C-alpha cells in the first residue's frame, strides 16, 4: 500500500477473486457488527472497511450511522444520505455496501406506525414539534429508537424468509457512551412490563447479547485510547456482550533498529553525517535527521508499550496502517483486506 505504514496483507495475482475467509475476531455467525472506539480513533473509517470485507462474495451489507454526522456521505463522496437505504459501494465478487443514516425523528415515526398504526398522527405531532421534543428530551429515548431500528434491519427478511442483509455494521457511539447506548432498551423493558414495547425491547436485548452480535473496539497505540479500550472491553464483557476484535488503527511501522538510538534516546549526529556523506547526501542534513530519528524512536517505544497494554484483552487483534487523511474509497478497499485471511488461507497479520 503506497500510503500505508504497515506491511499489506499477502496477496496474489488473483487476490481480488480468490476465496477468502474472515480474519480471526470477525465472526461469520454474527449478523450485527458494532464498531466503537474513543473519539478520534477512526471508528467510522474502520466500520466502512469492515463492511466492505463482509460484503465480498456477492453479499449485501448494511452500514449504519446513528450520530447525525453524515460521516459516510463524506467518506464515500456522495450527497448527504436521506433517511433511506442508499448504495455506497460495490466490492470484489459483486458484493454491495448499502448505507443508512438513522434519523431519530423518522425512527420514532416508524416506531409509532409499526406498533400502533399511527404514522398519519405522527406527522401531525411532528409539525407541532412534539416528536423533536420527545427524541431530544431524554438520551435514553433516542437510544431506544436507534437500537430498535438497527435491530429491525439486522433481522429483516424478504417474502421468502431470507435475510435482506447478510450482515449489518453499526458505526456506534464512542466507548464512553457505548454501554448506556446498548442498554437503553433494558430500562424500557423494565418500565413496560407487557405489550409491543416490552416485546420490542426484549427482542433488541436478546440480539445484542447473543452470538449474533459482535462488538469491535477501535484504538490507536496511544495511552488514553488504549486505557479506554481496556476499560471498555472489561465493562462490555462483564455485561454479557460478545467481544469481536480489537482493531488498532493508524499503526506506524517499526523502522528504528537496535543501536540506531542510544539508551538515553540520543542519536550520534556525527556518525550519521559521515554515513550521509558516504552516500553522496549532504551531511548538513544530519542534525535534522537525527532529531527526527530520535522522535520516531520515542514514538516507536510508546507504541510497543501500548501494544503490551492491549494484551490484557482476550480478543484477536487486527492492525491497520497509518493513512494520511482524507481516506479515499480506494483506500477503504485496501483496508478491507486486513479483515480477511490471505488468499493462501493464512490469516493476515
Sign of the C-alpha dihedral computed for residues 86, 90, 96 and 101 taken in this order: negative
Report whether 26 contacts 319 (CB < 8 A): no
Least confident of 42-51, 100-109, 318-327, 339-348: 339-348
Question: What band does 157 get if pLDDT is binned at 50, 70 and 90?
Answer: very high
Q: What is the pLDDT of residue 271?
A: 87
Tell me which residue of 86, 112, 110 sits closest to 100, measured CA to CA: 86
Q: Say if residue 159's pLDDT is above 50.
A: yes
C-alpha cell at 295: 522522535
Residue 348 forms part of a structural domain:
no
Q: Say if residue 119's pLDDT is above 70.
A: no
pLDDT in tens, 204-243: 999 999 999 999 999 999 999 999 999 999 999 999 999 9
C-alpha cell at 168: 449489518
Arithmetic mean of pLDDT, 271-286: 90
Question: What band does 198 get if pLDDT is binned at 50, 70 and 90?
Answer: low
Counted domains in the chain? 1
Tell me which residue has cell 433481522: 155
Q: Say if residue 11's pLDDT is above 50.
A: no
Q: What is the pLDDT of residue 120?
A: 61
Q: Say if residue 75's pLDDT is above 50.
A: yes
* Beta-bridge partner residues of 64: 100, 170
Question: What band does 138 get if pLDDT is binned at 50, 70 and 90?
Answer: low
Question: What band does 4 get if pLDDT is binned at 50, 70 and 90?
Answer: very low
Q: What is the pLDDT of residue 14?
A: 45
Arithmetic mean of pLDDT, 309-331: 94
Q: What is the pLDDT of residue 118?
A: 54
Arithmetic mean of pLDDT, 40-46: 97
Per-position DSSP letters for 165-232, written without gaps between them:
-SEEEEEPPPHHHHHHHHTHHHHHHHH--SSHHHHHHHHHHHHHTSTTEEEEEEE-SSHHHHHHHHHH
Residue 278 forms part of a structural domain:
no
pLDDT in tens, 279-300: 999 989 989 998 898 888 888 9
* Beta-bridge partner residues of 251: 321
Question: What band does 193 get if pLDDT is binned at 50, 70 and 90?
Answer: low
Residue 48 forms part of a structural domain:
yes
Q: Say if residue 13's pLDDT is above 70.
A: no
Tell me which residue of 122, 168, 185 sits closest to 30, measured CA to CA: 168
Report the predicted TM-score, pTM, of the whole model to 2 decimal places. Answer: 0.85
Residue 323 forms part of a structural domain:
yes
Residue 275 forms part of a structural domain:
no
pLDDT in tens, 80-90: 998 899 999 99
Sheet holding 213-219, edge to edge: 86-91, 95-101, 60-65, 167-171, 32-37, 213-219, 243-251, 317-321
Tell me which residue of 98, 244, 216 sits closest to 165, measured CA to CA: 98
Residue 320 forms part of a structural domain:
yes
Which residues constitute the domain of residue 253?
A: 32-257+313-339
CA quadruple 293, 9, 46, 340: dihedral, nearest 10: -160
Report whether 95 contacts 60 (CB < 8 A): yes
Q: What is the pLDDT of residue 297?
A: 87
Q: Say if residue 32's pLDDT is above 90.
A: yes
Residue 94 forms part of a structural domain:
yes
Least confident of 103-112, 113-122, 147-156: 113-122
Arithmetic mean of pLDDT, 141-148: 84
Question: What band does 2 get if pLDDT is binned at 50, 70 and 90?
Answer: very low
Tell me which residue of 167, 118, 89, 73 sits closest to 110, measured CA to CA: 118
CATH code for the domain of 212? 3.40.50.300
Residue 138 forms part of a structural domain:
yes
Instruction: Give alpha helix (H) positions in the chain.
Output: 43-55, 71-75, 104-116, 119-127, 130-137, 139-155, 175-182, 184-191, 196-208, 223-238, 269-278, 286-310, 329-336
Amino acid at each position: 500500500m503506497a500510503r500505508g505504514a504497515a506491511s499489506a496483507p499477502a496477496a496474489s495475482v488473483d487476490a481480488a477473486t480468490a476465496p477468502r475467509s474472515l480474519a480471526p475476531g470477525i465472526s461469520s455467525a454474527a449478523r450485527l457488527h458494532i464498531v466503537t472506539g474513543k473519539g478520534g480513533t477512526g471508528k467510522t473509517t474502520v466500520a466502512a472497511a469492515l463492511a466492505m470485507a463482509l460484503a465480498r462474495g456477492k453479499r449485501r451489507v448494511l452500514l449504519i450511522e446513528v450520530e447525525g454526522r453524515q460521516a459516510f456521505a463524506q467518506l464515500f463522496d456522495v450527497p448527504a444520505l436521506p433517511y433511506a437505504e442508499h448504495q455506497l459501494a460495490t466490492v470484489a465478487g459483486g458484493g454491495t455496501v448499502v448505507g443508512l443514516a438513522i434519523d431519530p425523528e423518522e425512527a420514532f415515526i416508524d416506531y409509532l406506525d409499526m406498533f400502533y398504526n399511527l404514522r398519519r398522527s405522527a406527522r401531525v405531532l411532528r409539525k407541532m414539534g412534539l416528536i423533536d421534543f420527545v427524541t431530544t428530551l431524554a438520551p435514553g429515548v433516542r437510544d431506544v429508537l436507534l437500537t430498535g431500528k438497527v435491530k429491525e434491519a439486522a433481522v429483516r427478511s424478504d417474502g421468502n424468509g431470507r435475510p435482506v442483509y447478510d450482515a449489518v455494521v453499526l458505526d456506534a457511539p464512542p466507548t464512553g457512551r457505548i454501554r448506556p447506548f446498548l442498554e437503553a432498551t433494558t430500562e424500557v423493558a423494565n418500565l413496560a412490563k407487557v405489550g409491543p414495547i416490552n416485546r420490542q425491547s426484549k427482542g433488541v436485548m436478546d440480539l445484542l447479547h447473543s452470538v449474533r452480535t459482535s462488538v469491535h473496539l477501535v484504538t490507536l497505540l496511544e495511552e488514553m485510547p488504549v486505557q479506554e479500550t481496556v476499560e471498555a472491553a472489561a465493562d462490555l464483557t462483564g455485561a454479557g456482550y460478545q467481544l469481536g476484535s480489537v482493531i488498532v488503527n493508524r499503526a506506524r511501522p517499526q523502522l528504528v533498529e537496535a543501536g540506531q538510538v542510544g539508551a538515553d534516546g540520543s542519536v550520534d549526529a556525527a556518525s550519521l553525517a559521515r554515513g550521509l556523506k558516504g552516500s553522496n547526501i549532504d551531511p548538513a542534513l544530519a542534525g535534522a535527521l537525527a532529531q527526527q530519528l530520535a522522535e520516531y524512536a520515542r514514538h516507536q517505544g510508546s507504541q510497543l508499550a501500548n501494544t503490551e497494554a492491549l494484551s490484557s484483552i482476550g480478543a484477536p487483534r487486527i492492525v491497520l496502517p497509518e493513512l494520511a487523511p482524507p481516506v479515499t474509497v480506494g483506500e477503504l478497499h485496501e483496508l478491507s483486506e486486513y479483515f480477511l485471511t490471505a488468499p493462501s488461507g493464512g490469516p493476515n497479520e
